[in-house]
Structure formats: structure tokens, C-alpha cells
Amino acid sequence: MSLANLGPSGFQPGAWRWLIERVWRLEHAFERSRAAAKPEDDTRIRIFFVMAFFGLCFVGLGLGASFSALFAHVGRGNGFLASTEGARGDLVDRDGRLLAVDLTHYALYVDPREVWDKAEARRALGKALPEVPAKRLDKVVFGDRRTFLLGGLTPEQKANIFDLGLPGISFEEQGRRMYPLGATAAHLVGFVDSGGRGLAGAERALDKPIRLAAGGGGPTALSIDIRVQAALEDELRKAAIEFQPRGAVGLVTNVHTGEILGLASYPDFDPNKAGTATDDQKLNRAAGSVYEMGSTFKAFTVAIGLDTGVATPTSTFDAREPYKLGYRTIHDYHAAKAILNLVEVFKHSSNIGTAKLAVGVGAQRLSQYFNNLGLTKPAKVELLESARPLTPRKWNEDAVASTSFGHGMNVTPLALAEAMGPLLNGGTRPPLTIRKLPQGVRPEGPRVLSEETSQQMLRIMRANVIPGEGGSGGKADVAGLSVGGKTGTGEKYDPALKAYNHQRQVSSFAAVFPTEGPLEADRYFVLILLDEPKGNARTFGFSTGGWVAAPAAGRVIERIAPFVGIRRKAEIVSVANSTTANPGTGL
């Protein structure tokens, strides 16, 4: 068989023949050298052959490395170069402002075997590192082996210690997650452990994509706008300082996209020092705490009544006497003692009128709507802290009446925000998200209400805020921004009393702006919630939602409107039914 036919498949015969000829020629050269008794030529030829082979290998390796460096995008997230263990990509807000970043820090080691004067080294390190306990320094400096002393040193701190000129001192690089804005957006951004694993907030919810981004995939953009976040936190903190609640929550969402533009939980903490924060400080009350939301639920009941056709804005309800339902009697906090139409029931926050409407809707339909609104499940959002609601075991008339005005059902503030979306955006329920969506994208959600019902709710919520119109939300009004909303004051159940405690309340205000304009127009939801606030002289002792939460919501709206592109306009009052009545106590 010819050598030319022994080539590998796919190899050209001509090229294969050329290679065989060269190999045979080389071998014949070896044979001629041996035949001529010149072994030095044999050796010289073999050395040349080996050098040529290795030379070609090195040239190939060099060309391959050059190609990878120039064209293969090593380190740009394509898998050729794995990121450092524990490394994470940057987190930024929706406009690219930095929220979290990995920075190089240094770990300090001491090898006492190389220290000439241990007493002097101990004195110098004690002065340079006052945060290190004295016993720890003694153990390390006067020990017998190289030992880790302190981690997380910044380059400046490292330089200061290095300049001491102490023998036996060494440093090792270590990555460290830093949050340049400190406590700002701490509960939404979250924090990581010492190994770079996300433990809370976006750091935990988006742990995998953030880690992958460390290989050069670019920053992970969150939905929040840091300007909106700062204004929300500032106003929430002011309200908390004034009314001294156990805790507080602030939310701003885009009702069309579900994007969370701001999330605040009070008290807060610094994620750079998460280990020193208490569990109460680290608790994300917006996602992880459930509350009886009180009269904010009346917005859902009214919307359901309208959507089912059980009521219209002009339907009337007799609220002149308490409503007896089975073994219980329902009262109004601020009794109107009048026959009220549906808009007035909403504006006066009438428990009697709302309960009668809910009974007309019926247990089956009411519970189904609550389920469709997302109130019977954890809020659909990436945050893993999102807590499950507490719902009635049995949907009987008592449960229907109680839940219609926000008792007997505990939900998270995020679940409330998600459920408010259909009332304000045309009737669909997009999921909430902490990730920035592409410009112009509006996720599709299941239809819950008709467009007509949503339009009616915008008008009714606006009627509740117009000053001088008798609504409970007048203190949230901002001239030219067409604010609507609903107050909420849920009394907290006291197990010791086995009854609701009138002195302990969850006071809130659920706002929307602007209410005017087409359904598809940009629109935003704002929630302020205070857990057990205390009234003061300015509020005449009242601690209800209209007194303690509505003003803060109005101030947030006034401050953030320019950031979300909403301009003030001349007020156009357009409500389903406008009546003049004495302002209530802000229930």
C-alpha cells in the first residue's frame, strides 16, 4: 500500500505526500550519517529537529495567546475566564448611579518570629489600630507563628501601617463589598456575607446574575431612582421622628410597569456594617412584615362593587345606624349618620357602608377578586423576604364584612402596592420588580378589573383628596398634581385583651398621582405606613392615617414629581360625585 494513501481523513493527498517525503528524507539523513561513521552529524540533525519542533510549539502558543488577548474577549463574561471566588458585579440604580461595588481591601498578618522588638511592635500597632482588642494584639504579637490580625483595610489604612516600618508585618489582598451610599436603600439593595454570598435584598434575590456580572458582564441595574429613594427616606424619617412609631414603610411604584422606584423601611441600617445592626433594623418591613391595612382595603371593596355591577357611584347606603351582622355590630369611626352614596362612603371611610356593599358582593365573588388582586399570596417580586399573608380560614359573612374595611386579613405593604395597580392602571396586575425594565416596556399582567372600573376609581380617589370636599385624604393634596388616595387606620389585635386595641394602630395613606389623563398615561403609587404612631398637639392627639401619613405622602409626591417627569397643571376637578361636608378625623 502506498504511503500516500495512509493520510488521515480530510487531509489533502498532496500535503500528506510532502510531509512523508520530508520525514523519509530526515530518516535517510540519519542513515547516511551512521553509514559514513559520522555520529556527530546524526546528533546535530536530531538536535536541530527537536529545536525546530519545540520552536514551532512555542510559536503556536504565542499566536494562540495573542489571538485570545485581541479577539476572544477573555474576562468579558464569555466563560473563558472565571471570576474570582466571591466576586460580584456592580449594582447601580436605573440611571447608573453606583449602589454596591467590590473594592480591593487588605488583610493584615503578623509573624512574631520576624519581629525584632515585640514590645515596640505591640505599642505601634495598638496606637495605629485602636479598634483591635488589647488581648487580641498581645496574642498575635507575642505568639509563635504567623497569624491573621485584621481584615478589611483600605489602601490608605494599609499604607499607614506599612509606613510604620515594622518587621514581620505583611498584607494579603481581599475583596470586600462596599455600599457607597451607606444606609440609603439598604433594605432594597441588601448585603452579603464575608464570602460574597447575598444574604438580603437585591444582593440575595439577584445573587446569580450579580456574580456572573463580575466576569465583565456590566453592572446590574435596579429599578429604583436614587433621587426618589432619598426623598422618600427623608420624609419617612421626618414622620417617624415626629410620631415615634415602632416602625415605618415607604413605597413608590410605577403602576404600569410594576417597577419599584423607592422602598424605605424604618429603622434602617448601614449595610457596610450589617454585622452590628439589630434584627429589627435589618427587617425589611415593606416585604417581610404583614399588617391589617385598615381602610385602604375599602378601595378594593369599592372597586369590586363597581366591577361586579353591585353598585354605581350614585348607589346609596344607609349609615344612620350601626350595622348588625350576625353576632357583631359594625360602627363608623366618625359617624355620618346619613344615607351616603358610594363616593361619600369612600370619602367618609364608612365601615357601615363598605360592609353593606361587601355583603351585596358576596363571599365567593369577594374572595375571588381578592385572590385575583394578589392579596391572598406573597407579593410577586424578586425579593425572597416577601412574606405570606394571613387570610380568613373561612369566607363567611363575618369575614366578608371584616376584610371589606381591612380587618381580619394581614398583608405586606408590597402586596398592597401590587393589588393597587389594577385600580390605577386600567385593570391589569403586572408583577412588581426590583430590576430596571427597558424603556417603553410595560409587562402584561392578568386582567382583574375593567378599564371603566379603573377610571371610576381614579375619580373617586381624587374626590377623597380635594380640600374642602369632606374627604379623609385632604392633607395629601398637592396643587397642580391631581393627587388621589385613601387613608387607612387599622387597629391592632391584642392577644392579651382578646380584642382590638384602640390605642395601637397601623396608620397609612395609599396615594396615586396624577389621577387625570388617559389610563395609559404615566402614573405612580405612593404608600406611607406608620406602625403604632403617637398623636401630638399638632394632630390634636389623633394618630390616624389622614393626620400622620397623608401629609408625608403629599410631601413625597411634591418632591418626586419632577424626577418622574410629572409637571404641575392647573387643577381640574373631575369626580364622580362631589359633595361638601365637614372634614373628618382622617380615618
Give catalytic residues, as residue numbers: 295
Sorted by sequence, the CB contacts under 8 Å of residue 296 that are 6+ apart come out as 406, 416, 486, 487, 488, 508, 510, 545
Tell me the CA distances in angstroms from 11 to 3, 53, 308, 457, 528, one per residue in order.
13, 21, 77, 77, 75
Q: Among residues 294, 255, 283, 314, which one has the least CA distance to residue 456?
A: 314
Q: Whole-angstrom Cα distance, residue 389 to residue 373?
A: 13
68-103: string of b/e by CB count within 10 Å (b at 16+)? Answer: eeeeeeeeebeeeeebeebbbbbbbbbeebebbbbe
C-alpha cell at 196: 460574597
8 Å CB contact between 486 and 510: yes
Q: What is the rounded CA–CA span in Å between residue 349 and residue 344? A: 8
Strands 91-92 and 220-221 come out as: parallel
Cβ atoms of 199 and 192 within 8 Å: the answer is yes
Helices 351-361 and 297-308 cross at an angle (nearest 10°) of: 40
Q: What are phi and psi of 153, to 5 degrees?
A: -75, 135
Angle subtended at Cα 280 by Cα 278 and Cα 285, rounded to the nearest 5 degrees: 140
- The secondary structure element, H or E, covering residue 177 is strand 169-178
Amino acid occupying residue 500: Y
Measured distance CA(552)–CA(232) in Å, rounded: 9
